Amino acid sequence: MYDLIIKNGLVITSEYSSYMDIAIKDGKIADIKEKGKLENYESKEIFDASGKHVIPGLVEPHMHIKAPLGGVVDIMDFDTASECAAYGGITSYIDFTSTLPGDSLPDAVEYRKKEMEISTLDYACHCKVVNLVSSELAAQAAIAEVRYKASGSEEDKKKLEEAEKKVNDAVQARLSEIPGIIKEKKIPTFKFFMTYRKANVMIDDTYLLQAMEIARDNGGRCGFHAENNAIAEFNEAKFAEEGKLDWEYFPECKGNICEAEAVNRVISYAEMLKAPIYFFHITTKESVDLIRAAQKRGVDVIAETCSHYLMFTKDKNKGNDGILYLMSPPLRTRKDQDALWEALKDGTLSLVSSDNCTFTRKQKEAPLVNGVHDFRKPISGVSGIEERFTLMRWAVENGKIPENEFVKLLSENPAKVFGLYPKKGALLPGSDADITIYDPEKTSYLKKEDLHYPEELEYSIYEEFSAKGKVEDTIRRGEFLVRDGIYNRNSSKGRFMERTL
Ligand SMILES: [Zn+2]
């Protein structure tokens, strides 16, 4: 006796599109056969999916909920995020720890897991590793060095050695936690920032190399926010001097080279160390070319792009609403966008994420002085966790990607890349019964009132987009989170997903 049978639907995976019946028991797929061919149809419930499309539940591998960015916290928590995600056909997601400089990594993991417990989706997190040395320790060492160089005295020499030892101890304390994060906490993926020095988030390259080596030796993969910090800071100062601070100058301030240099550098490190790497949010043609060439040389590099880079170009930063389209890395040109689509097609880029960070217009405008446009001031980031489904349906409708590729880029590949496959991202006997059902004839719209973000969000940046294909049922481990287009607030809670690569 099964718990649920989903029959007569057109099942679409990365490999096939075919009418299949799916039998579910104890939250897992017990059997999946051609329509009418299951061995038995005894089930507590039979769900008729005639006329509908049935796909493996989407996996969102890059999002930020309740993340303190530059002192501003977004308006979502994991309850509201679950609702938006479920309406967007997602059944499991991966966020990040909110590690601060000096935090122990296992503590940061436990803290984040607690925050995520209210999720109705299954959840996991990447371990964010920020600057390993607190600015206080770094300053002490710098001062001690200046003093010793000036005096040359034995006493100052001793003080310098002590300060350096403190710095080294702090670094080693963090690095030594990495194997435990991978093996005991079951979190094999990390995120490092190559920029945001002033926010004390950027990691020194020397420590980065050490971290990559340790992760490699313990079955982990390091991921990167790849932007060259020096170029960003240098240009920012220059642009300020020249009075070029309106929204539209931001993409130019962090031009293509800013990303491409950082990508190139990490690829060099990975090649030298034979270490696996991952790039979050790739935006430029130059980066795509570098990644493609590295993959051809045998470097183990995987990369993603995000839906907003595929939908928008930097023209969106012009005018008063330009503030709503600020994100890092910034929007690019049509040429870059074409390169991203091409890279998704030929497999250079493996998946599409949302990088969701939901801020209100009010939050973004709060730091402006007398409303004067200044791209250095607002918090960056855009929503997308709910819209990603429809945006990529738009891509299918407009011939950007084939139907089966949709499933690959949004479900199968995220699960494979991040150590969840075939439990997630697959419709195979033994897989978790994570299933998304949509009506291919109904149009999904992305106006503010069509979405389910908290009330205070005043806008949708995607309101010009719509596509055929509306999510009607989102099933997580056999349980309907969304049924007939309505989210079930009383569904059971999600589970933490242990991952190994
Ligand atoms: Zn991000």
Report pLDDT digits (tens) over 331-358: 999 999 999 999 999 999 999 999 999 9
CB atoms within 10 A of CB 161: 12
Report pLDDT for 443: 98
Tell me the CA–centroid distance for residue 445 and ligand 1, in Å. Answer: 25
Tell me the CA–centroid distance for residue 386 and ligand 1, in Å. Answer: 16
Tell me the CA–centroid distance for residue 225 and ligand 1, in Å. Answer: 8
CA distances (Å), origin 134, targets 167, 200, 472: 9, 8, 48
Query: What percent of the chain lies above the pLDDT cut of 90?
Result: 95
Tell me the CA–centroid distance for residue 113 and ligand 1, in Å. Answer: 18
Tell me the CA–centroid distance for residue 62 and ligand 1, in Å. Answer: 6
Report pLDDT for 384: 98
Quote the pTM value.
0.96
Report pLDDT for 405: 97
Tell me the CA–centroid distance for residue 344 and ligand 1, in Å. Answer: 19
**Residue with structure tokens 């059971």?**
492
Which tokens hold the place of 494? 């999600």
Report pLDDT for 335: 98
Q: How far is CA 318 from the centre of its chain?
A: 26
Tell me the CA–centroid distance for residue 69 and ligand 1, in Å. Answer: 10
**Residue with structure tokens 């601060």?**
100
Report pLDDT for 169: 92
Mean local confidence (pLDDT), 158-179: 94
Tell me the CA–centroid distance for residue 66 and ligand 1, in Å. Answer: 12
Task: Determine if residue 102 is left, alpha or beta; phi over 0 gives left, psi from -120 to 50 gives alpha, anything else beta.
Answer: left
Tell me the CA–centroid distance for residue 226 and ligand 1, in Å. Answer: 11
Q: Pick the closest to residue 227 from 265, 178, 188 (CA basis).
A: 265
Report pLDDT for 100: 87
Tell me the CA–centroid distance for residue 190 and ligand 1, in Å. Answer: 12
Domains, the chain, in order of start with CATH, read 59-421 (3.20.20.140)
Tell me the CA–centroid distance for residue 283 and ligand 1, in Å. Answer: 13
Tell me the CA–centroid distance for residue 443 and ligand 1, in Å. Answer: 29
Tell me the CA–centroid distance for residue 303 and ligand 1, in Å. Answer: 13
CA dist., res. 1 & res. 48, Å (int): 17
**C-alpha gyration radius of the chain:** 24
3-state secondary structure 120-160: CCEEEEEEEECCCCCHHHHHHHHHHHHHHHHHCCHHHHHHH
Tell me the CA–centroid distance for residue 381 and ligand 1, in Å. Answer: 8
Query: Sorting pLDDT into bands at 50, 70 and 90, what band is 126?
Result: very high
CA dist., res. 391 & res. 444, Å (int): 10
CA dist., res. 358 & res. 375, Å (int): 18
- Whether residue 370 is predicted with pLDDT greater than 90 in this model: the reply is yes
- The tens digit of pLDDT for each residue in 384-418 reads 999 999 999 999 999 999 999 999 999 999 999 99
- Whether residue 115 is predicted with pLDDT greater than 80 in this model: the reply is yes
- Whether residue 69 is predicted with pLDDT greater than 80 in this model: the reply is no
- The tens digit of pLDDT for each residue in 203-244 reads 999 999 999 999 999 999 999 999 999 999 999 999 999 999
**Residue with structure tokens 């020096």?**
230
Q: How many helices (H) and strands (E) does the chain have?
A: 16, 19
Tell me the CA–centroid distance for residue 353 and ligand 1, in Å. Answer: 9
DSSP, residue by residue, 440-483: EEEEEE-SGGGS-S-TT----TTTT-EEEEEEEEEEETTEEEEE
Tell me the CA–centroid distance for residue 355 and ligand 1, in Å. Answer: 5
Tell me the CA–centroid distance for residue 22 and ligand 1, in Å. Answer: 35
Averaged confidence pLDDT in the chain: 96
Query: What percent of the chain lies above the pLDDT cut of 70?
Result: 100
Q: String of b and e for 415-450 (b: at least 16 CB within 10 Å)?
A: bbbbbbbbbbbbbeeebbbbbbbbbeeeebebeeeb
Tell me the CA–centroid distance for residue 384 and ligand 1, in Å. Answer: 12
Tell me the CA–centroid distance for residue 400 and ligand 1, in Å. Answer: 24
Q: How many residues does the chain have?
A: 501
Which tokens hold the place of 139? 């300053």
- Whether residue 88 is predicted with pLDDT greater than 80 in this model: the reply is yes
Going by the DSSP 8-state scheme, the letter that residue 418 receives in this structure is T
Tell me the CA–centroid distance for residue 234 and ligand 1, in Å. Answer: 23
